[in-house]
Amino acid sequence: MIESLYVTPNNKILEANETTPLHWIHVQNPTPEEIASLSKEYEFPQDYLSAVLDNQEISRYEAPIQDELIKPILLLLQYPKEITSPSGFVQFEALPFSIILTPNLLITSCKGEFDFRHELEKGRAFNSPLPTTEKIAIQLAWSFSDLFNHHIKGIKYETDRLESELHLATENKQLFELMDMQKSLVYFDSALEQNLSVLQRTYDSKIIMTTKEGSVALYDIIIETKQALASGKIQAELLGQLGSMFSAIVGNNMNIVMKLLTVITIILTIPTLVGGIYGMNVRLPFSNDTNAFWILMFLIVISSIATIWILKKKKFF
């Protein structure tokens, strides 16, 4: 699906028509026909658009040798997308997003839904006196960096929640949740490293960053990306340690449960043993006493209490 858009003087993103300028073409889930048509019209390789159809595509910067922006330049960045993992928990993956800069407009493409308008209109770059296409490209990169930081903070919150449940862990649920968060951070780390490389090359390019404001904004994005990368690495290390602790505590808690069940089994064996003995056809103490039942009950209770005391003293539970 192709959307033709323009940015109004008050920074609103609207559908373009015959009476408005065309600033931006966004292609969602590009078809072979759309890819062929746009690449022919704006003279760029088809893989500039088709790359987004491959979830494993890496971030990259592609630009022909030129002194000014005449031929299209590709900035392929990655952004985080929430999914449900096979184990049923929230997980994030990094998907490619193509930003193609041409002399007159911006062309972007992604796979799947990407609701960008509302966030872009509120963005910091949209309130700056940048050229329109430069403004859109910078704000997209800023939004991706903010998304990574936001989701890493969310993972930190979930990590703290799991840590608070540490003493109650007796099953694998928490371990599966930890595994999904660790997988998310692995994707984040790879995507952020690649995005950082693309952003730094863009910052060094004199063709794309034509204004001081644009260079300053892009430098801020690079700092945000480095912050997300550092935070992600710290969180991944903490999750690794927490995972080891969870495994140990789950095993320890299961041992405590097994000890308790063993104690209960031992205690329940006492009345069974006494009942079995008094079921024999032989003369036994108190067998002819009218209070034999109560005497036996008293002895069973005393024996059970004594057994519990001995096991407790031996720190069996």
- Give 2-252's CATH code, choosing from 3.30.465.10, 3.40.50.800, 3.40.720.10, 3.30.460.20: 3.30.460.20
The per-residue pLDDT for 198 is 94
Q: Which run of H or E residues covers position 142? A: helix 132-164
Q: Which residues pair with 72 in a beta bridge?
A: none
pLDDT of residue 282: 64
Instruction: Give domain limits for the chain.
Output: 2-252, 255-314
Question: What's the pTM value of the predicted model, to 2 decimals?
Answer: 0.78
Task: Give the separation between CA 164 and CA 158, rounded to whole angstroms.
Answer: 10
Query: What pLDDT is recorded for position 184?
Result: 93
Candidate CATH numbers 3.40.190, 3.40.50, 1.20.58, 1.10.530; the one for domain 255-314: 1.20.58
pLDDT at position 311: 76
Give the separation between CA 248 and CA 180, rounded to whole angstroms: 19
**Model pLDDT, residue 245:** 74
CA distance 192 to 188: 6
In terms of C-beta distances under 8 Å and separation of at least 24 residues, what long-range contacts does 224-229 make, across chains too? 224/142, 224/145, 224/146, 224/149, 225/145, 225/148, 225/192, 225/195, 225/196, 225/199, 226/196, 227/149, 228/145, 228/148, 228/149, 228/152, 228/188, 228/192, 229/189, 229/192, 229/193, 229/196
Q: With both helix axes pointing from N to C terminus, report the angle between 212-277 and 132-164 in degrees, rounded to the nearest 10.
A: 20
DSSP reduced 3-state for 93: strand
Query: What gap in Å lies between CA 133 and CA 312, rounded to an integer?
Result: 75
CB-CB contact of 244 with 204 (8 Å): no
Rounded Cα–Cα distance for residues 257 and 170 (Å): 9
d(CA 36, CA 174): 47
Q: Which pLDDT score, from 0 to 100, does residue 171 have?
A: 62
DSSP-assigned beta bridge partners for residue 94: 80
Q: Is the dihedral of CA 92, 112, 31, 98 positive or negative?
A: negative
- Distance, CA of 160 to chain centre: 15
How confident is the model at residue 12, as a pLDDT? 82
What are the distances in angstroms from CA 277 to CA 70, 270, 273, 281?
Answer: 101, 11, 6, 9
Which pLDDT score is estimated for 287?
Answer: 66
* Six-digit token string for 256: 């405590």
Report the greatest alpha carbon distance in the chain: 114
CA 250/CA 242 separation, integer angstroms: 12
* CA count, 13 A, side-chain hemisphere, 191: 29
Please list the pLDDT of the chain residue by residue as tens digits (317 residues): 888 888 888 878 888 888 888 888 999 999 999 999 999 998 999 999 999 999 999 999 998 888 788 889 999 999 999 888 888 888 999 999 999 999 889 999 998 887 777 777 777 776 777 777 888 888 899 999 999 999 999 999 988 888 787 766 556 777 788 889 999 999 999 999 999 999 999 888 878 777 788 888 889 999 999 999 999 999 988 888 877 777 777 777 777 778 888 888 888 888 888 777 766 666 767 667 677 777 778 888 888 888 888 877 777 66
